[in-house]
Amino acid sequence: MEEPKQIQVIRIGAEAIVSRLRWNGFDLVSKHRVPKPYRVPELDRWIRDRRTIREAKIIVELKRAGVPAPAIILLDRSSSTIYMQYIKGVELKKALDRLDPMKVVEIAGRLGEIVGRMHLRKIVHGDLTTSNVILDEAGRIYLIDFGLSSVTDDVEEFAVDIHLLDRSLESAHHKLRERFMRNFLLGYSKIVGRERALEVLGKVKEIRMRGRYVKRGG
């Protein structure tokens, strides 16, 4: 059995390095949590192990809930590395502005349904931006990067997910923002129900107002 061969580094984050690999004829993605030299070695190993296990468990739970995310192939606790399915596609951030308007509406609605299913399982993404949504060659969308995900029943945490998505649209896709969020929320409401959606949206508005207050006060 051959050793995995690195093809390219996809992302270098504060916590982990994400790489594309070729292994026994398959394309994979590895997410390796790197050691932090400023931490006590035993504590560093424990932190990286706990976070790796938590992320893997969340991905497995989301797959059970029908949330499209990369399938986990292998979990290597000795190196705090998750090996996952490689999804051939492009970040939604890079594709959104050149998509047909009707395709934008469709994707927004589907993403709303996906996030709704995630929130019904009491899971928040933690970094829900158009950079963490992959559009594959068949037009399907997948959520990626669950390093900041957590399990919660706090409505404000669900609202933070939606607020982050809204902010990413505002900064990178300003002209599409209103149409995208309107259809996203329609899809979201379809899954979680109108009452719950209105509750979460109320929290989104509170978060936005707090942000404006801080900016003015600063």
Please check whether residue 114 is in contact with residue 141, taking contact to mean a CB–CB distance below 8 angstroms: yes
Determine the Cα–Cα distance for residues 17 and 161; give it in Å rounded to an integer: 23
Neighbours of 108 (CB within 10 A): 24
Q: Which of 127, 145, 161, 166 is catalytic?
A: 127
Q: In the annotation, is 136 catalytic?
A: no
Instruction: For residue 134, give both structure tokens.
Output: 């992959």
- Whether the Cβ atoms of residue 191 and residue 117 lie closer than 8 Å to each other: yes
Assess contact for 30 and 81: CB atoms under 8 A: yes
What gap in Å lies between CA 118 and CA 66, rounded to an integer? 9
Residue 91 token pair = 């970040």
Exposure on the CB side of residue 115, measured as CA atoms within 13 A: 34
Q: Count Cβ atoms below 10 Å from residue 171 Cβ, excluding itself.
A: 12
Looking from the CA of 97 toward its CB, the CA atoms found within 13 Å total: 10
CA pair distance 44, 34, nearest whole angstrom: 9
List, by residue number, the catalytic residues: 127
